[in-house]
Amino acid sequence: MNKYIRSLVLVLLLQLISGGKVFSQSITIQSPDKRIKAELLCQQQNNTGEWYLKVSYQHNNTAVTAIPRIDLGLIRNDQDFSKQLKFIRAGKPALLKEQYTTVHGKRSVHSNTGNQVVASFENPSKAKLNIIIAAYNDGVVFRYEFPDKQGSFVVKDELTSYSISRETTRWLEKWNPANEGYYTEMKNAQATPGEWCYPALFKSTDSTCWFLLHEADLDETYCGTKLSNMADSSKYKLSFPNPKDGRGQGESTPTINLPWKSPWRVINIGSLSDIVESTLVDDVSPPSRITNTAWIRPGLVSWNYWSDNHGTKDFKTVCEFADLAAAMGWPYTLLDWEWDAMGNGGKLEDAIRYIHAKGVKPLMWYNSGGNHTWVNATPKDRMLTHENRVEEFAKLKKLGVDGIKVDFFESEKQDMIKYYLDIVRDAAQFEIMVYFHGCLVPRGWARTYPNLMTYEAVRGAEWYNNVPDFTNAAPSHNTILPFTRNVVGAMDYTPVTFTNSQHPHITSYGHELALSVLFESGLQHLADRPDGYYSLPDAARTFLRDVPNAWDDIKLLDGYPGQEISMARRKGDNWYVGSINGQNREKKKTIKLDFLQEGVKYKMILIADGKHDKELLPSYRMVQRSDSVDVRLLRRGGFAASFKPVQ
């Protein structure tokens, strides 16, 4: 074998070992476990032209084309980076391997591995563009990079577009600035044109491959995007914010300064359990910029808005919810809107003193303010500037307030992305936790700024106060959220209600109790009135005193969006299971306990549906990993269970 042949073989071997291979007209990158593959291809079958990605998934030695084509490219105000891109080189594929910990979320210790390649291009004017592609064991991510060292430009359009087979089943939420809509299931060649929220869920025709589209590592150097198939119902193109969002304030096209990288375009791929258990959005986001996180403490919160729209205006109501948090062992209570108009026996300072006297910590609501929102609820001016925030956070620190809820953002334009991040950064300087409401869907920020505890961005229990249609929609809707919205980050649905607010609910008590396990949120606001919890059976009250809301591990046991879901979560040595039925027929389920540790016996407390939807039936049993449990779920029912090792 001559020297040239030996060198060529060595290069090919190195590329195969590292997970990638490069040809004159394509670049291929594989996940470390070889199940996921991304190919960068040229439409013109040479080294110059329009480039696109093809993403495949291997299941039982059979390759499935998940997304046959993802169009690529950007258009700046000065020139085009899409139609005549000349391939220059591809860097050597790099192995990515990381382990990190988080304070709250679906998993405390994260381990991820991937293979990454950087492909370099230039357009006819010799301007440079890099496309960075990485394949992880749970998905593919890619982003654009302008490597030049100087220049300021407006991105007029991003051409990223996902071509989806018409036979693919999809769950999509119609675009709305607060991300508070329903998911609609579309199948059998249905592909309604429209604008759609992140994340979007898809299932291949043979059910072996699922994928979820989202974005991560968004910051003030860009705007948020959404999906649009208005021009072609089979192509979901990324689109910028609507100019009218946020009352028309701010530019809908982002201004970038070189060098620059776009957010990651994220495609979770695999089985349904791969999707639900993934932390890919966090994995590709920047590490924590907060070194001391001891002051960041996730926990359950009592919340008076659901049962009494003007609860915080009434000092006595505030005291009742502080008493509830104390009685249930929850660390927090929220002073929602109208705390600045509190009366009936006390003002804000009196309420905070009372809350502290009960051993509970207060959180406080703020209007994001400014001309971007139509809502005039006060205080409206405390978060708008750095100076405003520093002054307010100093007052909150002195009062002993641990966190803030900031509401009504109504836009994902570039200036609003900066506003979000400025709030979180300034709050961290005063060791204040943050909760965003009326806001965007998570983009991985909680990894970078772990004092960002949760987001609303979901049609949650608050909607029982808003519209009558939520009553019948909620049971099925609740089974879709763990497969979609809650996959990508904390979700404050404000769950677990047993009484009714303005409009009734038809979910069973077992269904409601299970939501405390199924839905993950760093600050979990339990929404019912005090009597709703005090009147529960002892087993259910004890469960809600003990159930964590920051987890060490997660396992999807079974389920299907819109029908049912069963999930196990672990905290320390203890496991918790939540299961709900979203359908109008009774079900019997067998839950295998193979998620438990081998050789350990556990005390199981199972709280299931009773004879009717307002009855809970506790049962107790010793179990181990080889056991299974049979449970009856009422229509729209559910159950919750805890498993604690016996020493």
Measured at the alpha carbon of residue 89, what is the angle toward residues 83 and 91, in degrees to the nearest 5? 125
Mean pLDDT of 630-635: 98
Q: Does position 231 have pLDDT exceeding 80, yes or no?
A: yes
Q: Does position 10 have pLDDT exceeding 60, yes or no?
A: no
- Check if CATH label 3.90.180.10 holds for domain 286-457: no
Per-residue pLDDT band at 372 (split at 50, 70, 90):
very high
pLDDT for 446 equals 98
Mean pLDDT of 629-640: 98
* 413-463: pLDDT as tens digits: 999 999 999 999 999 999 999 999 999 999 999 999 999 999 999 999 999
Peptide bond into 379 cis (omega under 30): yes
Q: Does position 190 have pLDDT exceeding 90, yes or no?
A: no
User: What separation in angstroms does the CA of 110 have from each of 16, 239, 518, 641?
Assistant: 26, 31, 20, 25
Per-residue pLDDT band at 45 (split at 50, 70, 90):
confident
CA dist 131 and 124 (Å) reads 17
pLDDT for 528 equals 98
Q: What is the CATH number of domain 19-283?
A: 2.70.98.10
Residue 12 or residue 469, greater confidence? 469
Q: Does position 12 have pLDDT exceeding 70, yes or no?
A: no
Average pLDDT, the chain: 95
Q: Percent of the chain, pLDDT > 70?
A: 96
Mean pLDDT of 90-112: 97
Coil vs helix vs strand at 10: helix
| Whether the model pTM is above 0.85 | yes
Q: Percent of the chain, pLDDT > 90?
A: 92
CB 143 within 8 A of CB 132: yes
**Most distant pair of Cα atoms in the chain: their distance:** 93
Per-residue pLDDT band at 3 (split at 50, 70, 90):
very low
Q: Give me the phi and psi of 61, to 5 degrees please.
A: 65, 10
Q: Does position 395 have pLDDT exceeding 90, yes or no?
A: yes
* 267-324: pLDDT as tens digits: 999 999 999 999 999 999 999 999 999 999 999 999 999 999 999 999 999 999 999 9
Q: Which two tokens stand for residue 94?
A: 């790099």
* 128-153: pLDDT as tens digits: 999 999 999 999 999 999 999 999 99
pLDDT for 20 equals 44
CA dist 537 and 545 (Å) reads 13
Residues 6+ apart with CB under 8 A from 200: 170, 171, 172, 173, 212, 213, 214, 227, 236, 484
pLDDT for 25 equals 61
Q: Which CATH superfamily is domain 481-486+494-647 in?
A: Aldolase class I (3.20.20.70)
CA dist 512 and 474 (Å) reads 11
CB 300 within 8 A of CB 363: no
Residues of the chain with CATH 2.70.98.10: 19-283
* 581-626: pLDDT as tens digits: 999 999 999 999 999 999 999 999 999 999 999 999 999 999 999 9
Residues of the chain with CATH 3.20.20.70: 286-457, 481-486+494-647
Per-residue pLDDT band at 93 (split at 50, 70, 90):
very high
